[in-house]
Amino acid sequence: MANTCSFFFLTRASKSENFISFPVCRSDTACWSLPIKMLSSLMSYSPSVDSKTENPDELIATGVLASLQNFIRKCIVAVLSYGPMPKHIAFIMDGNRRYAKFRSIQEGSGHRVGFSALIASLLYCYEMGVKYITVYAFSIDNFKRDPTEVKSLMELMEEKINELLENRNVINKVNCKINFWGNLDMLSEPVRVAAEKLMASTAENTGLVFSVCMPYNSTSEIVNAVNKVCAERRDILQREDADSVANNGVHSDISVPDLDRHMYSAGCPDPDIVIRTSGETRLSNFLLWQTTFSHLQNPDPLWPEFSFKHLVWAILQYQRVHPYIEQSRNMAKKQL
């Protein structure tokens, strides 16, 4: 079975000199037919996820063949972990509406399938040892869409948040801490209350940190941070003697660390990888402050189609450019 994993990484990563090519038996084609078929099945496998499933392992796969697929997947993850692994992956979940349109299914169904893809990706990232996952779930600009669609999305958000509150299999499996980044006051009251309950109920968890950006855009986040720093300075000035402040020269300038402390992302490392599905190459006002040295990727699949094979390929691409990213980051630190 180890040879099966080696075959995958030889074929996928041989273009990069940073990877080791494992020996592969070429003398007996028949001996490779079954492993190759199993790998093809695994890499095209996109599980149907039900957050109500009693056994969390069933969220990834079920049945005898699925157990074999899970084993092969874990072998692939083990080999992958020999390279530099990302600590933080951010997703722009693009393509839910197009998925529904292309398949002529009911409007809104694409977002439901997208939620299944999200839970599966969370579990895959957990298996890979990725500590932080951030998703762009709802932009402030999305409020400009048709009111009926916005109402439907709000109802779906409330439904899925309440599902996570009522059935904690996924949360307990990864000991997940859930954050909501954005202006929660813009949400309908039921959604806001549900989001606050979910954050409070997972606040002490120490496993995977899952941050949901809704309703969010980066411009709003930066403005919010500046306003908080200014309010903080006003409070300090009111408490201290004005002459003492002037003489000491403190509290006069706003620094980058000051803003970092008041970003929604305070306490989380910057994303190593930003993945926007559907082939789009725009950040759409997402984490502009935090993505200076992130590896930006735009795979073609729509978000509901995003699967394990796409995640593996994204990490391989990141590992290939990792030395350059680290060099750029270190040079920036020296210039500060």
So which residues are the catalytic ones? 94
Residues 76/258, Cβ–Cβ less than 8 Å: no
Pair 211, 134: CB distance under 8 Å = yes
Reported in sequence order, the residue ranges of the chain that DSSP labels E, i.e. its strands, are 88-92, 132-136, 177-181, 209-213, 273-276, 295-297
Cβ atoms of residues 123 and 60 within 8 Å: yes
Amino acid at 239: R
The set of residues, in sequence order, having a beta carbon less than 8 Å from that of 178 and lying 6+ positions away, is 164, 171, 198, 199, 202, 210, 211, 212
**Both structure tokens of 249:** 């020269």
Per DSSP, helices labelled H in 19-105 are 30-43, 63-80, 96-102
Q: How far is CA 41 from CA 21, 36, 206, 316, in A?
A: 23, 9, 34, 20
